């Protein structure tokens, strides 16, 4: 059957040549019997996993020797061509590994192995769930062999199953890079860049965690931390003894609380470039952004307001120097 007869040229081009080849000619499709495994002195593990979101299912066969090594593996896939291709590569990756090594194979490894080149995804975003299913059936097989729960293989909360991005990673990246949009989270972590179900409710499957909520809650935590830092600095008079990072956070908190909203109302903003202690003064270097850059008031009234606020709340020997 010609490519255009199956999916249409545009969509078909989103699949790698490896995927399209394995759709119709998988290498490891089949089954392993108890008799075959026993005759080789090995143990047979058969694991089933189905994806409720799309109705696909996969059965994985592992023939495991006494040393926990997977000496042979087969699969049966009940679903789309992408599920067949993903399952075939997943099976290939398992062979020769111990069970403990195989359980470390992720859907990212499966998708990457299906690529024709490292830079181009093997499948369109809406088909990433097929490689996730391959990862899940590996966990199921390993849990059956080792006699443990599947959850024992996960030590983090995974928010984006497609890119295997954890809750902790997303929260940390938001804080470290001061991210303000879901699009920025995707740029930094790839979370939400594939099937998009983890971005907000309403995708092809329900999730416990969504990027929109994580972003909102993390930004609230960041604001609370800034306010706490500012309160501590103002009440204890310890601004001069803070580290550079602590000083920047304290200044930023005061700016967010008392100044930034007025700059934004006029189409501008500001950022802290550096803080230096010159002995007599604590010099805070800032850069005006947007409409504030080049505004006549930026070197008079606006500058006085910023400096006065920081002096009142942090330290009297502060100087604000625009650059």
Q: Which residues are catalytic?
A: 54, 130
Sign of the CA dihedral running 202, 205, 210, 211 = negative
**Given the DSSP bridges, would you call strands 70-78 and 57-64 parallel, antiparallel or unpaired?**
antiparallel
Q: How far apart are alpha carbons 180 and 313 in whole angstroms?
A: 26
Task: Look up residue 123 and give its DSSP letter.
Answer: S
42-50 contact pairs (CB < 8 A, 24+)? 42/66, 42/71, 43/145, 45/141, 45/144, 45/145, 46/141, 47/137, 47/140, 47/141, 47/144, 48/137, 48/140, 49/133, 49/136, 49/137, 49/140
Strand ranges inside 23-157, DSSP E: 43-50, 57-64, 70-78
């Amino acid at each position: 059957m010609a490519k255009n007869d199956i999916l249409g040229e545009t969509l078909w081009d989103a699949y790698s040549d490896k995927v399209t080849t394995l759709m119709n000619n998988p290498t490891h499709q089949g089954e392993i019997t108890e008799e075959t495994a026993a005759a080789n002195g090995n143990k047979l593990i058969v694991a089933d996993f189905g994806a409720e979101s799309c109705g696909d299912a996969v059965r994985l066969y592992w023939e495991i020797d006494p040393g926990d090594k997977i000496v042979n593996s087969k699969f049966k896939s009940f679903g789309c061509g992408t599920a067949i291709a993903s399952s075939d590569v997943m099976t290939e990756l398992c062979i020769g590994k111990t069970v403990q090594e195989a359980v470390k194979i992720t859907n990212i490894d499966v998708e990457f192995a299906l690529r024709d080149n490292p830079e181009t995804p093997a499948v369109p975003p809406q088909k990433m769930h097929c490689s996730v299913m391959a990862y899940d059936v590996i966990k199921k097989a390993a849990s059956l062999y080792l006699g443990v729960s599947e959850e024992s293989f996960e030590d983090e909360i995974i928010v984006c199953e497609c890119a295997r991005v954890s809750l902790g990673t997303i929260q940390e990246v938001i804080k470290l890079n001061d991210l303000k949009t879901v699009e920025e989270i995707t740029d930094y972590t790839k979370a939400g860049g594939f099937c998009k179900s983890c971005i907000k409710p309403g995708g092809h499957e329900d999730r416990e965690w969504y990027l929109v909520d994580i972003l909102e809650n993390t930004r609230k935590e960041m604001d609370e931390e800034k306010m706490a830092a500012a309160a501590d600095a103002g009440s204890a008079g310890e601004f001069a003894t803070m580290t550079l990072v602590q000083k920047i956070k304290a200044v930023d908190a005061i700016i967010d609380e008392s100044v930034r909203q007025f700059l934004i109302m006029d189409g501008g903003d500001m950022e802290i470039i550096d803080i230096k202690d010159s002995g007599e003064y604590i010099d805070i270097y800032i850069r005006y952004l947007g409409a504030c850059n080049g505004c006549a008031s930026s070197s008079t009234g606006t500058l006085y307001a910023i400096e006065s606020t920081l002096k009142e709340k942090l330290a009297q020997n502060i100087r604000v120097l625009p650059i």
